[in-house]
Amino acid sequence: MVATMERGYRYRFYPTRTQAELLTKTFGCVRLVYNLGLQARRDAWEQRQETLGYPATSALLTGWKKTPEFAFLNEVSCVPLQQTLRHLDTAYSKFFNGEARFPRFKSRKRSRRSAEFTSSAFTFRDGELRLAKLMETPLAVVWSRPLPDGAVPKTATVSQDRAGRWFVSLRIEAPVATAPPTTKMVGIDAGINRLLTLSDGDPVDNPRQEHRERAALARAQRSLARKEKDSRNREKARVRVARVHARVADRRRDVWHQVTTRLVRENQVLVIEDLAVNNMLKNRRLARAISDASWRMFRTLLEYKAREYGRTLIAVPRWYPSTRLCSACGVRAEKMSLSVREWTCTGCGTQHDRDVNAAHNILAAGLAVTACGADRGPQRGTTSRAGSRR
């Protein structure tokens, strides 16, 4: 039996004016129902010490639809409204399990514009996707990649990003990605000058996506700053700024997908550093470059792909001195500034490339953790400022 897992396939589509108007209204109704449900649950606890679950809020939704104030909720499909109450229930569960903070009200300007349709509210047949209340005309989806043979979507989530682009995400059961077993292992050092440096010496250049668009972003932001608040021209200028950010994010995501897929397919064991990105962003000189590198996205993609391909991913503790340890003899050098790209070990005289040496040490530390079951590394001694062994 072929192993399967739930996967999402995201596509861009171009709605007609009628479709766009109804979907925009659906987004607003979804946000309203979520906020009404959250307020009802908060009031029930504060006033009566009563806990409301999804069934109770779903019954409230039926009552809201019958009132003149919220009668417009009947104009959109009921399924996204019910789904947003399920999402609210999930948010409460995650809060009580310590996985997330307390649910907050959705904002019209800042919240994500999306609506989830279950299989009862859409049809997918012969490559055509039709949503409830819009069954007459299928969505003009750009099928940039084919769905797996025989795949039947479980849900269809329609969304619109800040740049005004429309997307639909289909959740399906798909075969698990596989790759032939290999004995290769790699240590990975993340950086800024080089996006990644591997323990085999192979570097991944940093494309600096944000830096490439910095001039265009500055022009768009200056134009936005000159527009009158709440005017149509300001909204157009805001969309132009969002489009620049979207270009940067799309290119960055594409690079990381290619890099992480290659690493996972080629290596059985991958060792990375457990970087404290939030703390590193407090450095005002490097914050912009660190954000542009997007190390958090790299780790997120690498983690789920390693699970899918059956690879082993090890995270070395963030305080491990991978840069200052000599990968040849284990002697620790004194602290060095970021400007030092090469250094010579005072213990054995080996000359190191800073990043390649760090990648070697990261790999060694990861293998030590695997073998010993403890936080162990290759260090065998340290040096004083004079270079003497101690």
Q: Are residues 192 and 336 in the same domain?
A: yes
CA distance 3 to 244: 40
Residue 376 confidence (pLDDT) above 50: no
Q: Provide the pLDDT for residue 373.
A: 56
Residues 55 and 137 in one domain: yes
> Which residue would you say has higher pLDDT here, 25 or 345?
25
How far apart CA 171 and CA 113 sit, in angstroms, is 18
Residues annotated as catalytic are: 189, 273, 355
Q: Which domain holds residue 52?
A: 4-175
Query: Do 18 and 130 belong to one domain?
Result: yes
In this structure, is residue 221 part of a structural domain?
A: no
Q: How many domains does the structure of the chain reveal? A: 2
For residues 329-353, give the mean pLDDT: 81
Residues 148 and 190 in one domain: no
234 assigned to some structural domain: no
Task: Indicate if 161 and 190 belong to the same structural domain.
Answer: no
Residue 214 in domain: no
Is the same domain home to 198 and 332?
yes
Q: Is the pLDDT of residue 377 over 80?
A: no
On whether the CB atoms of residues 339 and 305 are closer than 8 A, the answer is no
Convert the pLDDT of each residue in 56-103 to its tens digit. 999 999 999 999 999 999 999 999 999 999 999 999 999 999 999 999
| Structural domain includes residue 180 | no
DSSP strand pairing (122-125 vs 128-131) = antiparallel
pTM over cut 0.75: yes
Residues 51, 71 within the same domain = yes
Same domain, 288 and 145: no
Helix (H) or strand (E) holding 204: strand 203-205
Q: What is the 3-state secondary structure (H, E, C) of 66-97?
A: CCCCCHHHHHCCHHHHHHHHHHHHHHHHHHHC
pLDDT in tens, 6-49: 889 999 999 999 999 999 999 999 999 999 999 999 999 999 99
In this structure, the answer to whether residues 104 and 154 fall within a common structural domain is yes
Asked if residue 123 belongs to a domain, the reply is yes
* 58 found inside a domain: yes
**217 falls within a domain:** no
**170 plus 314 within the same structural domain:** no
Residue 245 inside a domain? The answer is: no
- Is residue 93 located within the same domain as residue 12? yes
Domain match, 200 and 332 both: yes
